[in-house]
């Protein structure tokens, strides 16, 4: 009996060791950084993987979200950051963090599925990662964009997902993806989702006209200073990045700047509108951005009313004025060029000029309310 018991014990031990070995073998390979070249398949980076009906993150790949996100035809976004072991980004209170060589930022654009071939037009409330990843039966993946920090600077790579949602291939020339957006009221509208080509990426990420170098837009203290629902619970993102070794030099979250959530009913209207304009327009319309010659600066740092469009005559807007005289007329959104351009889907008129094919109705309403609440006149 004792011999049999010992035999069963050894068998159990061997079985446990075999199972552990198999588990190690089944673990995905580590994230791979390419110092040069442009891999044709997103899977080569080992950032994300399709497994068990979900889009999952590899070990060390950290999800994050923004207080107020950029509008992209109502697409939801799964944002991630990865850095080589022992490397960290340097904190900056105003600009994008200074990321080390080897950093990979990813942004996967997707939509909740509707009836048939439609997708849902709903607010981007951050990715639902319950269960360890995006549940593919409930979402339509469109593209995953990478921003990769190499020794010579950042490079942008757009990958487009196939219909089976099993593979994403590099599309340097971009792609047009037809969609049908359905709202909560049941009404639907067509959208021509534009996957940008590599040159168009510079239209937003080339935030400095002098250097023309690509830079991240979202990973700034004011946008990241918020809680995120991680697998192990809710935590402030700046604190989490610091604890994970991904960020150095950051103050406590309460001492860092924080942009408003544009959908927060308890936040001041001015703070919400400025946050929305900052993230959607400020990377271009700033003293150093491509839109600086317009004289309209919508970044978070700008405070001068004239620079924000108040009673400002257009410099070179062409037909983009809609026969309106000023960029922003206090108390009169319908007379303001800013609202006119946000309401347009004409490529020669609309603002922002990249990243959307439909009007962001909720965003327009926010800016209308903001202008309507302003006192004074343009004389």
For residue 355, the model assigns a pLDDT of 78
φ, ψ dihedrals at 332, nearest 5° = -135, 80
Residue 126 is given by DSSP the state -
Give the orientation angle of helix 361-372 with respect to helix 269-281, to 10 degrees: 130
For residue 277, the model assigns a pLDDT of 97
Average pLDDT, the chain: 89
pLDDT tens for each residue of 237-272: 999 999 999 999 999 999 999 999 999 999 999 999
Contacts of 265 (CB under 8 A, 6+ apart): none
| Angstrom distance (rounded) from CA 64 to CA 267 | 22
Query: Would you say residue 306 has pLDDT above 60?
Result: yes
pLDDT tens for each residue of 133-192: 999 999 999 999 999 999 999 999 999 999 999 999 999 988 999 999 999 888 888 999
For residue 162, the model assigns a pLDDT of 97
Q: What beta strand segments (E) does 38-185 contain?
A: 48-51, 54-57, 62-64, 76-82, 89-90, 104-112, 119-120, 133-135, 139-150, 153-161, 168-170, 175-182
CA dihedral 131, 136, 137, 143 (to 10 degrees): 150
pLDDT tens for each residue of 176-217: 999 999 998 888 889 999 998 777 665 576 555 666 678 899
pLDDT bin (cut points 50, 70, 90) of residue 6 is: very low
Average pLDDT over residues 357-368: 95
- Nearest Cα to Cα of residue 65 among 196, 225, 205: 225
| Angstrom distance (rounded) from CA 146 to CA 136 | 20
The reported pTM is 0.90
């Amino acid at each position: 009996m004792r011999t049999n018991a010992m035999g069963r014990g050894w068998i159990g031990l061997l079985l446990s060791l075999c199972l552990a070995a198999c588990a190690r073998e089944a673990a995905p390979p580590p994230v791979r950084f390419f110092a040069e070249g442009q891999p044709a398949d997103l899977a080569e980076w080992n950032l994300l993987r399709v497994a068990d009906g979900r889009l999952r993150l590899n070990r060390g790949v950290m999800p994050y979200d923004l207080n107020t996100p950029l509008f992209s035809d109502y697409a939801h976004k799964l944002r991630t950051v990865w850095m080589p072991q022992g490397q960290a980004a340097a904190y900056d209170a105003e600009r994008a963090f200074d990321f080390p060589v080897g950093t990979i930022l990813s942004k996967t654009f997707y939509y909740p599925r509707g009836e048939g071939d439609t997708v849902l037009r709903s607010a981007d409330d951050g990715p639902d990662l319950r269960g360890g990843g995006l549940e593919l039966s409930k979402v339509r993946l469109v593209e995953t964009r990478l921003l990769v920090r190499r020794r010579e600077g950042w490079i942008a790579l757009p990958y487009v997902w196939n219909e089976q949602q099993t593979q994403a291939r590099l599309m340097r020339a971009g792609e047009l993806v037809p969609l049908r957006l359905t709202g909560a009221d049941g009404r639907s509208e067509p959208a021509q989702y534009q996957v940008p080509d590599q040159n168009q990426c510079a239209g937003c990420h080339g935030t400095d006209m002098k250097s023309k170098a690509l830079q991240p837009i979202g990973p700034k203290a004011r946008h990241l200073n918020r809680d995120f629902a991680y697998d192990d619970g809710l935590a402030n993102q700046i604190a989490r990045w610091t604890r994970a070794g991904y960020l150095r030099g950051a103050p406590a979250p309460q001492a860092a700047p924080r942009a408003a959530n544009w959908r927060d009913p308890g936040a001041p209207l001015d703070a919400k509108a400025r946050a929305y304009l900052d993230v959607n327009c400020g990377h271009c319309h700033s003293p150093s951005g491509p839109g600086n010659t317009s004289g309209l600066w919508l970044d978070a740092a700008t405070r001068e009313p004239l620079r924000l469009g108040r009673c400002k005559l257009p410099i070179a807007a062409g037909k983009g004025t809609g026969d309106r005289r000023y960029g922003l007329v206090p108390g009169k959104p319908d007379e303001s060029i800013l609202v006119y351009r946000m309401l347009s889907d004409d490529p020669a008129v609309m603002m922002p000029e990249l990243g959307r094919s439909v009007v962001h109705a909720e965003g327009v309403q926010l800016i209308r309310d903001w202008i309507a609440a302003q006192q004074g006149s343009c004389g």
